[in-house]
C-alpha cells in the first residue's frame, strides 16, 4: 500500500511540475489558467513575440484572499523560436531577464501582483516560465501588461462618439511617445469616414500621429487587429487634412461589404497629457439624423396619443 501511495505521489508531482506544451500569448490579454489553459501543473511556459524594446509588466491576478506564491523567468530569443524550442530550451538564449521588484494593487475584488522587466532590441521572441507552487486557486489570471508603456488593449469603440484616453494608467499621466492605440469598431460599406484626434496643445500637423486603418467583412480577431492582415484592404499612414491647431483629421473611405474596421493610432511626436478620439461616419450620422427627423416625432405622437387615450378613455 505504501508503495502504491508513493507511486501516486510521484505521478502527481511529475504531472504538476512538468509542462507538456508551451502556449502562444499576446500583450494585454488575460489568460485564465483554470479555464483556458489549466493543465493541473504548476509550471507554465509561454511564447510571446518581441515587438519593441522597453518595459512591460508580468502580472498574476488572484482573489484578494488567496496566497501569493509566484516566480518568473524570462528569456529572449534572437531567432524565430518555435513552441518546442521554448518548451525544451533548445538553443537556449544567452539573454535572461531579471524580474524587478514585485508591486501589488487591487483590481475590483482581486489583487494583482505585478513584476516589471525591461526588454532589449534585437530579439524576436520571449520565452516566459511561470511557476506557481500551489494550484488551489479559485481564480488565477496571467497577463503581460504593456498598456501603460507601449500598447493599449483592443478598445471596442462606437461610431460618432467621443473617446478621451484615460491617462491615469500612465505613471506621469501622459501618453508616452511611441504609444500605440488599437481599436476595433463596426462600420458601414462605401462610407466616407474620418479618424479625428483632439489635443490640448499644438503639435506638428504632419508628424504628431500615424493612423492606419484596415477593413473587414467579419469581426477581426485580436491577432488581426494587432498584426494586420495582408489579405484585407488597408489605409496605412493616412495624411492629416486639418488646418486647425489642436484637431487632426484622417479621412478615408470604406469598400463594399465592409462591416468592421481595425484602427492603429501611434503617438509619434511627444508625450501627451490629453487625447480624444472620434471616429466619424457619414452614413452613421445620416442614420442618426433620420432617427431624429422621422422616428422621434412618431414616438412623440405615440406618447401624446397614449396620454390622451388614458385621460379620456381609461376610465371606461
The percentage of the chain sitting over the pLDDT mark of 70, rounded to a whole number, equals 79
Residue 72, in any domain of the structure: yes
Query: pTM value?
Result: 0.69
Give the Cα separation of 103 and 127 in Å (integer).
22
Looking at residue 7, its pLDDT comes to 31
| Higher-pLDDT residue of 313, 203 | 203
> pLDDT higher for 68 or 88?
88
Sort strands 71-77 and 125-131 into parallel, antiparallel or unpaired.
Answer: antiparallel
Residue 149 contacts residue 55 (beta carbons within 8 Å): yes
More confident residue, 5 or 82: 82
Same domain, 136 and 170: no
The answer to whether residues 123 and 79 touch, using CB atoms and an 8 Å cutoff, is no
Q: How far is CA 209 from the centre of its chain?
A: 19
Domain's final residue, options 108, 125, 145: 145
Q: Going edge to edge, which strands form the sheet with 260-267?
A: 151-156, 180-186, 260-267, 209-216, 234-235
Q: What is the CATH number of the domain that holds 247?
A: 2.60.120.380
| Total number of domains constituting the chain | 2
- Residue holding cell 478598445? 155
Domain assignment present for residue 93? The answer is: yes
Amino acid at each position: 500500500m505504501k508503495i502504491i501511495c508513493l507511486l501516486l505521489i510521484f505521478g502527481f508531482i511529475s504531472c504538476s511540475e512538468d509542462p507538456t506544451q508551451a502556449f502562444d500569448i499576446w500583450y494585454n490579454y488575460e489568460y485564465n489558467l483554470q479555464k483556458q489553459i489549466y493543465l493541473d501543473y504548476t509550471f507554465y511556459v509561454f511564447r510571446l513575440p518581441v515587438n519593441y524594446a522597453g518595459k512591460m509588466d508580468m502580472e498574476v491576478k488572484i482573489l484578494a484572499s488567496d496566497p501569493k506564491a509566484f516566480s518568473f523567468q524570462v528569456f529572449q530569443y534572437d531567432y524565430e523560436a518555435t513552441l518546442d524550442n521554448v518548451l525544451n530550451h533548445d538553443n537556449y538564449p544567452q539573454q535572461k531577464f531579471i524580474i524587478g521588484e514585485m508591486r501589488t494593487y487591487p483590481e475590483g475584488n482581486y489583487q494583482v501582483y505585478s513584476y516589471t522587466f525591461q526588454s532589449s532590441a534585437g530579439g524576436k521572441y520571449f520565452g516566459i516560465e511561470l511557476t506557481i507552487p500551489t494550484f488551489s486557486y479559485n481564480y488565477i489570471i496571467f497577463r503581460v501588461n504593456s498598456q501603460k508603456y507601449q500598447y493599449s488593449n483592443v478598445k471596442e469603440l462606437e461610431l460618432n462618439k467621443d473617446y478621451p484616453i484615460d491617462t491615469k494608467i500612465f505613471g506621469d499621466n501622459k501618453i508616452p511617445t511611441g504609444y500605440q492605440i488599437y481599436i476595433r469598431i463596426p462600420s458601414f460599406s462605401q462610407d466616407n469616414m474620418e479618424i479625428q484626434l483632439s489635443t490640448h496643445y499644438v503639435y506638428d500637423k504632419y508628424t504628431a500621429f500615424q493612423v492606419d486603418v484596415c477593413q473587414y467583412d467579419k469581426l477581426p480577431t485580436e491577432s488581426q487587429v494587432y498584426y494586420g492582415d495582408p489579405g484585407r484592404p488597408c489605409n496605412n499612414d493616412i495624411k492629416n487634412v486639418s488646418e486647425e491647431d489642436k484637431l487632426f483629421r484622417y479621412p478615408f473611405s470604406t469598400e463594399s461589404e465592409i462591416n468592421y474596421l481595425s484602427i492603429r493610432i501611434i503617438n509619434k511626436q511627444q508625450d501627451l497629457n490629453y487625447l480624444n478620439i472620434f471616429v466619424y461616419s457619414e452614413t452613421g450620422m445620416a442614420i442618426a439624423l433620420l432617427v431624429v427627423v422621422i422616428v422621434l416625432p412618431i414616438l412623440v405622437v405615440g406618447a401624446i396619443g397614449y396620454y390622451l387615450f388614458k385621460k379620456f378613455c381609461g376610465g371606461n
